[in-house]
Amino acid sequence: MFRLNNKVAIITGGGSGIGKAVSLLFAQQGATVCIVDIDEVGGAAVANEIGASQAKGFFYKCNIASQGDVQLVVDEIISKHSAIDILVNNAGIAHIGTAENTNEEDFERLLNVNVKGTYNCLHAVLPVMKLNGGVILNMASVAASVGLTDRFAYSTTKAAVVGMTLSVAKDFLTHNIRCNCVSPGRVHTPFVDGFLQKSYPGKEQEMFEKLSKTQPIGRMGKPEEIAALILYLCSDEAAFITGCDYAIDGGFLKLNT
């Protein structure tokens, strides 16, 4: 079950964190994995790791905030692999701040990557998928569904991703294109470690445990756990699922009191 043999998958932000876990899992399940990332070192390393396991992994450096860059990469992937069966819009950035203290530059930066970047990838890939169908998985967040302290810009962009997911799912039903999103809670990624080192020097472990306990299950998620859900939603076994937002959050949305 959940094999992706003969599938060509684009995974944005595939060079680290959840994107890396998705890239490795998809390759393990038989997909040809196209890692699209602005991080040349991380993206190339994951592609090499996939290649070392005798699977197919390719790296394409790209700034998803640039529609021109995205279109060039998509054209290159089509030229090399002839199809795009799966798009995982995982790339994104975070920001801490309220509507009062978030400056215009930071707000626009998040919009450009998290919203426009997702749009750019959809815009380039959908015409290709209309030929033979396909699956799109967008990365949302629990921040789109509940009020989180100091997450104004981030929550705004992730709510937009949920809206785009529903719109694409509706508009492309007749083209055999499915579109869903997942909404993780806190996941232990390199970003979390960097945030703790920068914001709480000397108290990293204390704050890590505090953040972990905000989820009823008592810990942060693992990138591999998010990747497993994404694999299911992108597999043929999920052929009856479209237009859905899946929380994977250790009970954060429903069990917090």
Do residues 209 and 161 lie in contact, with contact meaning Cβ atoms separated by under 8 Å? no
Do residues 128 and 83 lie in contact, with contact meaning Cβ atoms separated by under 8 Å? yes
Among the listed residues 154, 200, 232, 246, the single catalytic one is 154
CA dist list (Å): 7 to 26, 27, 123, 178: 9, 10, 20, 15
d(CA 255, CA 257): 6
Do residues 101 and 144 lie in contact, with contact meaning Cβ atoms separated by under 8 Å? no
**Does the annotation mark 119 as catalytic?**
no
End-to-end Cα, the chain, rounded Å: 37
* Catalytic site positions: 154
